[in-house]
């Protein structure tokens, strides 16, 4: 089976919301989160999607 989409990493400011699975990046502020997500997007060649204000995921399409 071919997996076409995958969550490459998770970026969040709220540690209690997440656990395990993909690499997780914890950030202090929203700005830091935007910054980390922008970098990861370019590095991983995935798109950062916002699930909520405090949770981004990088998804490879």
Partner 1 sequence: MNEYTYPILFGVIVGTIARFVMLKTDYRQYPTYLHGKVIHIALGFIAAGLGSVAVPAIMEKEFTAVTFLTIAASQFREVRNMERNTLSELDSFELVPRGKTYIEGIAVAFEGRNYLVIFTSLISTLCYLVWNVWVAIIATIICYLIIRKFMSGSTLKDIVDIEQSDIHFDGAGLYVDTIYIMNIGLPARQKEILKYGMGFIITPKNADVRTTIANLGQRQAILHDVSVSMGVFRDSGTPALVPLIKRDLDDGRIGVFILPQDPDVERAKRVIGAVPVLENAIRMPSESKARKKESPSK
Residues making contact with partner 1 (CB under 8 A)? 34, 37-38, 41-42, 45-50, 56-57, 61
Instruction: Tell me the DSSP string of 30-48.
Output: HHHHHHHHHHHHHHHT-EE
Token couple for 14: 């709220």
Pick the closer one to partner 1 by CB: 1 or 42: 42
Pick the closer one to partner 1 by CB: 15 or 30: 30
Pick the closer one to partner 1 by CB: 27 or 46: 46
Token couple for 24: 């997780």
Backbone angles phi, psi at 56, to 5 degrees: -115, 145
Q: How far is the CB of 14 from partner 1 (least distance, A)?
A: 15
């Amino acid at each position: 089976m071919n997996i076409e989409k995958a969550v490459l990493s998770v970026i969040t400011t709220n540690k209690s919301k997440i656990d395990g699975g993909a690499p997780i990046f914890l950030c202090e502020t929203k700005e830091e989160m935007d910054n980390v997500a922008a970098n990861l997007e370019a590095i991983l060649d995935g798109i950062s999607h916002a699930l909520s204000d405090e949770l981004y995921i990088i998804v490879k399409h």
